[in-house]
Structure 1
Amino acid sequence: MNRYERLNALLEILGERGRIEVDEVSERLHVSGATIRRDLDHLAEQRLLTRTHGGAVSHAVAYDLPLRYKTVRHAEEKQRIARAAAEMVWPGAVVGLNGGTTTTEVARTLVARSEGDAVITVVTNALNIASELSVRPQVKLVVTGGVAQAKSYELMSPLAERILSELSLDITFLGVDAIDPVAGASAHHEGEAAINRLLAGRAGKVVVVTDSSKIGTRAFASICTTPEIDVLITDTGVGEDDVGRFRERGVEVVRV
């Protein structure tokens, strides 16, 4: 396990438990206590946790992780979800993408599947997605503008809202912080939710892409209601009860 993987593992454990001890984690990850202490010191410097004698405690980890520390969570599931999403896009389509690790996988898969001179248009408020797609000749890239958020790489502000209000999208893929059959899709940050709501509202089809860990949960700010979602693409970990409740509200559920 390299350092990057250890840091992600530590944050995952801390997010689940709220507290970790050096001795316990070093045994679980099969590395020395000295290595774990250095890793915890590094994460504390980035304000991702608070160091204690013998370990660390949560510092809003579940809600405040920078995107770079989320990339390996449920990686295989996200790749399968991305492949299913990319199959819904046709040459010449105008595609909306918000920020997030799953939508980033969707963007990469779209580029990999593009054939010949066929061009798709991608509209996004995510700087990391824009950076990856800007050098791809088969993609016409539109970036919304706005003020960059350090943790999600997303652009927010009335500047983004003004641009999106003048565009029409064929299909929008939304990554979400939470989705519930009754409450709909939501995000932890109200500014992100507002931009995501516009991306959904300007699209002919709204597709939520998320792993099953976020299903049946709710976050602070609403993005859209359940009936406004056309398709939910998730992994096979979603429960049958949740699948039935989404379908009752008119959402097509695709499990991969």
Structure 2
Amino acid sequence: MERGRLTKKERHELILSEVRRSASIRISKLARRIGVAGETIRRDLIELGEAGLLNRTYGGATISLVTSEPAISERGLTMVEERARIGRGAAGLIEKGQIVMIDGGSTTYEVARNLSQLARNLTVITNSTGVASVTGANPTFRVILCPGTYDSREGSVLGEDTVEFVRRYNADIAIIGASGLTVDGPNDMITGAAAVKRAMISRALSTMLVVTNDKFGRASLERVCALGDIADIVTDDEPQVELRAAIEEAGTELHVFAGN
């Protein structure tokens, strides 16, 4: 069937869908499926590859997939300046007296650390022992730590008890991190962590995603939500063109706190 009238964005979505379905696929097969010339597909694959959304191979492509992630203690040693800028920027967007849910992660910890230096009279609900500890040092904060099964690699509690506990509360904002961010939305390598993020999103009036630029274009095991479910993305650098366009189309506000 001839599909040459598709827009570039529609072609890209179809290509990504086909690559995900097949894990890897040839240019010739993509051209037949989508109904355009092989050269058009080749150009599309170059753009998608530059955006980090797939890996180009000789004559085709494979999906770019994150299959593992270092422990939080190891992640805390990388992208230090970038996470510090994100932490300061995100903390500045939180208003006094708000109820804030914060999930576990090295970047969300930086947000919590910066929040703890401000007298904001916040109520903080978290599944992270690190976030609870650093925010609990602020006497104007009320900190509620979720129950659950402790994951030492993540420094957080996870599981059904955690999710059910989160669902008891209402919040003004949920601050979440992610293993990766693509045009499909934020994703996470750990199923239990993704479940907690979704629970927080469902109970908050607004959601803020905090991610360093190395997460752009990375796809991992589980999709957390759509870009349209995120009100604000706070990061340290501009996303690739394809991802930036998807963020704008979703109506999500992008806050970039870049270095000098």
TM-score by length of 1: 0.71
For 2:68 and 2:84, how far apart are their aligned partners in 1? 23
Cα pair 1:94 1:120 within 8 Å, conserved: yes
Change (3 A) 1:145 1:210: same
For 1:86 and 1:75, how far apart are their aligned partners in 2? 16
- Superimposed CA distance per residue, residues 203-235 of structure 1 (whole angstroms, 9 cap, x where no aligned partner): 111110001111112111121111101111111
RMSD across aligned C-alpha pairs, in angstroms? Answer: 1.6
Change (3 A) 1:238 1:64: closer
Instruction: Give the equivalent residue in structure 1 for 2:170.
Output: 168
Of 82, 90, 96, the residue aligned with 1:85 is 90
> What does 1:143-162 correspond to in 2, within 5 Å?
143-162=145-164
Cα pair 1:64 1:151 within 8 Å, conserved: no
Instruction: Give the equivalent residue in structure 2 for 1:197.
Output: 198
Instruction: Give the equivalent residue in structure 1 for 2:240.
Output: 239
For 1:152 and 1:247, how far apart are their aligned partners in 2? 31
For 2:239 and 2:118, how far apart are their aligned partners in 1? 27
Instruction: Give the equivalent residue in structure 2 for 1:142.
Output: 144
Cα pair 2:102 2:127 within 8 Å, conserved: yes
- Superimposed CA distance per residue, residues 85-107 of structure 1 (whole angstroms, 9 cap, x where no aligned partner): 11111111011111111100000
Question: Number of paired residues?
Answer: 192
Q: Does 2:179 match 1:177?
A: yes
Q: Which amino acid aligns with 1:76?
A: E
Change (3 A) 1:219 1:64: closer
Deviation at 1:166, TM superposition (A): 1.2
Q: Does 2:167 match 1:130?
A: no
For 1:92 and 1:215, how far apart are their aligned partners in 2? 32
Instruction: Give the equivalent residue in structure 1 for 2:207.
Output: 206
Cα pair 1:123 1:142 within 8 Å, conserved: yes
Unaligned stretches of 5+ residues in structure 1: 1-60
Cα pair 1:111 1:138 within 8 Å, conserved: no
Q: Which amino acid aligns with 1:164?
A: V
> What does 1:15-54 correspond to in 2, within 5 Å?
none
For 1:242 and 1:189, how far apart are their aligned partners in 2? 23
Cα pair 1:186 1:221 within 8 Å, conserved: yes
Deviation at 1:239, TM superposition (A): 2.3
Q: Which amino acid aligns with 2:245?
A: G
- Superimposed CA distance per residue, residues 155-185 of structure 1 (whole angstroms, 9 cap, x where no aligned partner): 112211121111001011111001112x211
Q: Which amino acid aligns with 1:254?
A: H
Instruction: Give the equivalent residue in structure 1 for 2:256.
Output: 255
Q: Secondary structure at the match of 1:205?
A: strand
Deviation at 1:136, TM superposition (A): 2.3
Q: Secondary structure at the match of 1:163?
A: helix
Q: Secondary structure at the match of 2:100?
A: strand
Instruction: Give the equivalent residue in structure 2 for 1:26.
Output: none
Q: Secondary structure at the match of 1:63?
A: coil
Cα pair 2:115 2:135 within 8 Å, conserved: no
Unaligned stretches of 5+ residues in structure 2: 1-65
Change (3 A) 1:80 1:62: farther
Of 62, 73, 86, the residue aligned with 2:78 is 73
Instruction: Give the equivalent residue in structure 2 for 1:119.
Output: 121
Q: Secondary structure at the match of 1:219?
A: coil
Instruction: Give the equivalent residue in structure 2 for 1:187.
Output: 188
Which structure carries more relative contact order (alpha carbon 8 Å, separation 6+)?
2
For 2:149 and 2:168, how far apart are their aligned partners in 1? 19
